[in-house]
Structure 1
């Protein structure tokens, strides 16, 4: 049995992607558990900032910490609100400068339908793996998060900027030519970002360790079902997929202390 505070699974580029779940004293290679029955049991909570056993509010933080730490400020979800390039602090200027003032990608990805997104250059291809995208390409490389956000805002008037997680997990994929989409949307990129468009960029093809996709999905909430046992049949994005159509969002349950047993 393993015990630990849930954090998002670490990934390793391979065909298929390899997933590692950090536990208290070890990393569990989750790919090896596919085909096996496992039990998840709720033990308690551990705020990713203060470390207290308090109910998790969002993103692994208790309510008090969520509204204080720089990792959850508005610019994280809305890059166009970034102000570090103006030397303006929102919660912690040193942290904001470190994260915002580095190269960012504006990208196109397909996890069910084409979407536009933003990520730090250092987070590729991790960001796409976490979203469950089976293909992606870089549209532009910009020097800071603000410019990436400006481009994203302009482009989401023409396409989605969110992943449809239900379609992603049931593998309902719309065939799309990302190169063609790139050529179609480039004129909509704001003038200040046009100089950063990438001329030649490869399409990343991503393969996930899934033996069987669910026909529909039922989301497991440990707060409502403290103990769950099921046969693991796949991993996609940050979701564990079980043979009874249950899916468990590991990243969405960060800060939850669990026991993981292999039957």
Structure 2
């Protein structure tokens, strides 16, 4: 039996990818639980910032912390709103400079359809694993988050920037040539980004997940409505646990929830 506050699973790039659920003083190697029965029991909330038992609002934070901490500012989800390169503060300039003024990658990933996305270079390939991508390729490497953001805005005029999580989890993935898709995007890059285009890059990342059986149709576990759930683990993809009864559990959506985990 384990108990702790949920945060997104840590990953190790291997074939298949290794997943680890970490608590304060212990961790679970989730791959070792495939084909075993697991029971999740919701215990209480614990905000990832103030650590109080206050209902989680978004991204693992209670409502008051969500609107105060720099980790939940608008530029996190909308990189084009980054302003650290202008020396302008949104919530915490030191934190914003640390996170925004570092190399960023604009990439294409194949998770359901071909999507465009942004990540810090230090988060390659973790970001793609968290999205459940089966393949990915780097398109541009820029020196800050703002340039990556305006690139994403320009490219999503020509393709999606969202993952269809249901298709990703049922392994309903289109057949696509990411190298060809990357090559056609050169003409759509903003002028200030063209010099950062990785024209010669043909390096495809292939990602293999620990999944024994893909579900045909998925139903999402809601810990608020179902505070106790028990099922046999059949796979892990993205930040989702996939169970034999076709229930899927998005660990990242429940950051800040304290749970007890029983393994049989």
- d(CA) in 1 for partners of 2:25, 2:73: 31
CA offsets per residue over residues 110-136 of structure 1, 9 Å max, x none? 001000000000000000000000000
In the alignment, structure 1 residue 30 sits paired with structure 2 residue 27 = no
Partner in structure 2 of residue 257 of structure 1: 258
In the alignment, structure 1 residue 134 sits paired with structure 2 residue 134 = yes
| Aligned residue pairs, count | 263
- d(CA) in 1 for partners of 2:110, 2:187: 20
Partner in structure 2 of residue 247 of structure 1: 248
Q: CA deviation at 1:24?
A: 3.4
In the alignment, structure 1 residue 109 sits paired with structure 2 residue 109 = yes
Unmatched segments (≥5 aa) in structure 2:
none
In the alignment, structure 1 residue 73 sits paired with structure 2 residue 60 = no
Unmatched segments (≥5 aa) in structure 1:
none
- d(CA) in 1 for partners of 2:96, 2:163: 26
Q: Is contact 2:183–2:199 with CA below 8 Å preserved after alignment?
A: no
Pairs within 5 Å for 1:12-51: 12-51=12-51
CA offsets per residue over residues 181-227 of structure 1, 9 Å max, x none? 01111110111000001123210000000001111111001110011
Q: Is contact 1:44–1:53 with CA below 8 Å preserved after alignment?
A: yes
Detail structure 1 runs of 4+ shifted over 2 Å in the superposition: none
CA offsets per residue over residues 48-84 of structure 1, 9 Å max, x none? 0000001100000000000000011111111000000
Partner in structure 1 of residue 159 of structure 2: 159
CA RMSD in angstroms comes to 0.6
Q: CA deviation at 1:152?
A: 0.2
The TM-score, its normalising length taken from structure 1, stands at: 0.99
- d(CA) in 1 for partners of 2:170, 2:88: 43
